[in-house]
């Protein structure tokens, strides 16, 4: 049974020139135990889709189900609970998903506390070779160290969904390999891992590669038809 299932998802943003259709009818199914990569040109809607799947943005149209329940029918409280306990999120800028005032060990223990998960913080830091940086705050870490820490923290307790936007961009091979090994380890523990990426190293590490183009997703779940969003009546701008 999929954790998330989206049908005909639409997303619109206001732009100076009129509404931008960032998602134009996306069908997607997300299941545990797999790593999926979403690739596609810049501006094709990858980040938007990740934000919708992470329940951080409400789609303008279509149907999104979480474990069979319509997300639009969930209470605000239930959505908050899902975001906190079931969804790990790694922003495109890893520092945006870290607590600025906590050191590396604190990132892990705080996430474990929020999720009610038990975790060995030292083992989690060792997994990403950050043992020697345990007492460093994010602003003292390099980009690669921040990214490794952000993925380690988001993956605490192997959340049902682990979503990462370009998790290996600009990383050297060592950091990229650590990040990808960690994502694969969470999938082996049951997480559904979804990442947006342009990186061949990341696509190689994925079980499935889906392509995004002009707000339409294709690949494994290719529906064969082109969806055209009907802008009339959506009226959320
Ligand atoms: P990608 O991640 O593939 O680069 P995005 O999802 O960031 O693509 O963007 C898809 C489209 O939506 C682009 O045209 C982008 O300019 C637009 N867009 C994304 N986020 C916003 C926003 N917050 N406000 C307005 N337009 C946005
Ligand atoms: P805010 O940005 O004001 O905190 P929320 O993100 O809590 O707003 O959501 C505002 C409303 O939209 C709530 O009623 C919530 O149930 C709904 N909502 C939020 N995210 C989604 C989503 N991904 N799909 C459907 N409805 C959502």
In whole numbers, what is the pLDDT of the chain averaged over residues? 91
- The predicted model gives 36-51 an average pLDDT of 96
Cα–chain center distance at 228:
25
For residue 169, which ligand has an atom nearest its CA?
1
* pLDDT bucket at 1, cuts 50 / 70 / 90: confident
Tokens 């190689």 sit on residue: 204
- Per-residue pLDDT, averaged over 176-196, amounts to 97
Edge to edge, what strands does the sheet with 18-30 contain? Answer: 18-30, 4-15, 61-66, 69-70
Cβ of 72 closer than 6 Å to ligand 2, yes or no, is: yes
48 pocket-lining for ligand 1 (C-beta < 6 Å): yes
Nearest protein CA to atom 18 of ligand 2, as residue:
58
pTM: 0.85
What backbone phi and psi angles, to 5 degrees, belong to 113?
Answer: -65, -45
Backbone angles phi, psi at 38, to 5 degrees: -110, 120
Q: Is the pLDDT of residue 36 over 50?
A: yes
Confidence of residue 220 (pLDDT cuts 50, 70, 90): low
pLDDT recorded at residue 96 = 94
Positive or negative torsion for Cα 99, 103, 106, 108 = positive
The number of the ligand 2 atom at minimal distance from the alpha carbon of 64 is 24
Tell me the average pLDDT across 156-171. 97
CA Rg value for the chain: 18
Instruction: Quickly tell me which residue has 């342009």 as its tokens.
Output: 198
């Amino acid at each position: 049974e999929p954790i998330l299932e989206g049908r005909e998802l639409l997303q619109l943003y206001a732009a100076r020139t009129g509404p931008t259709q960032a998602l134009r009818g996306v069908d997607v199914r997300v299941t545990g135990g797999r790593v999926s990569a979403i690739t596609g040109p810049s501006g094709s809607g990858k980040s938007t889709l990740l934000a919708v799947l992470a329940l951080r943005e409400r789609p303008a149209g279509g149907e999104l189900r979480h474990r069979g329940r319509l997300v639009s029918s969930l209470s605000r409280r239930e959505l908050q609970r899902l975001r906190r306990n079931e969804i790990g999120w790694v922003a495109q800028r890893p520092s945006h998903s870290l607590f600025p005032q906590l050191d590396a060990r604190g990132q892990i223990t705080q996430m474990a506390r929020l999720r009610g998960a038990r975790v060995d913080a030292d083992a989690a830091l060792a997994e990403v070779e950050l043992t020697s940086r345990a007492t460093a705050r994010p602003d003292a870490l390099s980009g690669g160290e921040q990214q490794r820490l952000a993925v380690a923290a988001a993956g605490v307790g192997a959340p049902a969904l682990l979503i990462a936007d370009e998790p290996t961009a600009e990383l050297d091979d060592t950091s990229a390999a650590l990040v990808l090994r960690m994502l694969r380890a969470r999938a082996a523990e049951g997480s559904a891992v979804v990442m947006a990426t342009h990186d061949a190293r990341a696509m190689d590490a994925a079980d499935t590669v889906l392509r995004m183009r002009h707000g339409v997703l294709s690949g494994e779940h290719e529906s064969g038809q082109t969806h055209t969003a009907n802008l009339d009546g959506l009226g959320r701008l």
